[in-house]
């Protein structure tokens, strides 16, 4: 998604929320470091941590859009509601949705974490450095 977004926009900010309602495995600074490593060859992409509402962060950074990925219809329903609320809060910021590539449509963070927790192979699912970080978290061999 980030690579595709980087082809569409002159500058892309990958914003990592420091506080999230999701159950997270890596702290914000770890997620930022992993993402920075993953996008290091993309000159128009920066990775930054932030707190609070994404739409307010986007406004503060003078972003014109928030790009979100869609894997399935369930994603669409949630993201549609979020986009409408963001439009209510900051109408000048567009919601842009990209469909995931079929290659990655079956991948979710929950499934990746479960595979890592059980010592399964993450080849082709995440970058090698992320697989290694997951293995360290779960004390499992990288496979």
Looking at the structure, do residues 34 and 21 belong to the same domain, yes or no?
yes
Residues 68 and 131 in one domain: no
Query: Does residue 86 sit in the same domain as residue 112?
Result: no
Q: How many domains does the chain have?
A: 2
Give me the CATH number covering residue 64. 3.40.50.620
In terms of domains, do 97 and 114 share one? no
pTM listed for this prediction:
0.88
Express each pLDDT in 57-101 by its tens digit: 999 999 999 999 998 888 899 999 999 999 999 999 999 999 998
Per-residue confidence at 118, pLDDT binned at 50, 70, 90? Answer: very high
- What contacts 61, CB < 8 A, 6 or more positions away? 13, 15
Same domain, 117 and 56: no
Give the domain extent around 63: 2-105
């Amino acid at each position: 998604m980030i690579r595709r977004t980087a082809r569409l926009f002159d500058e892309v900010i990958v914003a990592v929320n420091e506080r999230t309602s999701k159950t997270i495995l890596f702290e914000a600074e770890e997620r930022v470091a992993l993402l920075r490593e993953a996008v290091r060859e993309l000159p128009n992409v920066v990775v930054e941590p932030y707190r609070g509402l994404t739409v307010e962060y986007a406004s503060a950074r003078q972003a014109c859009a928030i790009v979100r990925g869609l894997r399935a219809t369930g994603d669409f329903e949630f993201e549609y509601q979020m986009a409408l609320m963001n439009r209510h809060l900051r109408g000048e910021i567009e919601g842009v949705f990209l469909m995931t590539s079929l290659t990655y449509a079956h991948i979710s963070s929950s499934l990746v974490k479960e595979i890592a927790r059980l010592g399964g192979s993450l080849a082709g699912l995440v970058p090698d450095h992320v697989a290694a970080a997951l293995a360290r978290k779960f004390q499992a061999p990288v496979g």
